[in-house]
Structure 1
Amino acid sequence: MSIRLVLLCAAATAARRGPGFPDPADPLDAGGIAKARGLRLEGPPPERVVTAPDGAARETAALLALSAREVEALADRDHGAWTGRGFDAIDPAALTGWFAAPAAAPPGGESMAAVAARVGPWLAGLDGRVLAITHAAVIRAAIAVALDVPVAATLAIDVAPLTSVVLSRRGRWRLQALRPR
């Protein structure tokens, strides 16, 4: 069985441009809309398109004129009590502690290991050519699971809005491309 998975990071929202923890309800901002409208996907067309269950991912798919199905496993990392808050609104000691151990979960939120744990079964069930519009944390988790590397190692990978990552599988997963926009 051959799989080609393109993971596309959703276009930007105002909250994702600043230092903080975005809210899943945040809409794309004007720059995100303009860049998504100008995006041309490379490679063979997908057989299926899926998105994270939030506004930014759905809006990105719509701007690309793609009909997509929402998949819960692609939801952005849950930032718990910090969701929707800028770094300046978080207790400095708590934020410093989280920066020292970013794989840990924010208060009431989700660790990167938990993200990888929900992304792994989704990856295992794929076949064919799939385009998944999701978020940086999910893309990093998918890379970690597919390549069997520690999730902490993927935190050093920059995944900006509209970055695409191409993973393929024929026997084992391979990272084919990481294309920033």
Structure 2
Amino acid sequence: MTAETLAPQSPLAGWQLTGDGVTGRERPLLGQLSVRTSHDLRRLVLGSDGSHAARRRQPERVLRLGPDEWLVLTTPAERTARGSSLQEFGVVTDVSAQRTTIELTGPRARDLLARGCAIDLEVSVAPVGSCYSTLLAQTGVIIVVDQQDEILLLVRSSFASYLARWLEDACTDLS
């Protein structure tokens, strides 16, 4: 088998969640670039307001994961060009195949996550632009509060089906 025959595959192809006040779907094959730099990448690249999850344009985001660790989310088509443009700021590694992205929307999305997460996701504590690396249902995730009623979960591809089943189960008696 050659590299030309290998095509990216989504771990949750076609998965959807529908519950009382919350819906979910996978955003498959999102470009993800890990950047290690001491510069404030949000300000250099986006000229942002300083939130942990700054947005340039849909769906690009710059997430601060640590003092010198950043994760840039971009479209699959822009991944290579974006990676090249970021090399002037530090070390760039393409980690797109490492995680998949689950998008939860609706007024009950935060309530659903509260069932398996120790982070307080109330609006006053976790406003739009917040980004957390934590455990959800004993699975490592990055939680991005993208909009008031929209949350992104970045989860390792190998744990994606487990987390999707957990979300379905936790959603059944959401009241």
TM-score, reference length from structure 2: 0.28
Return the structure number with greater relative CO, CA threshold 8 A, min gap 6.
1
More strand per residue: 2
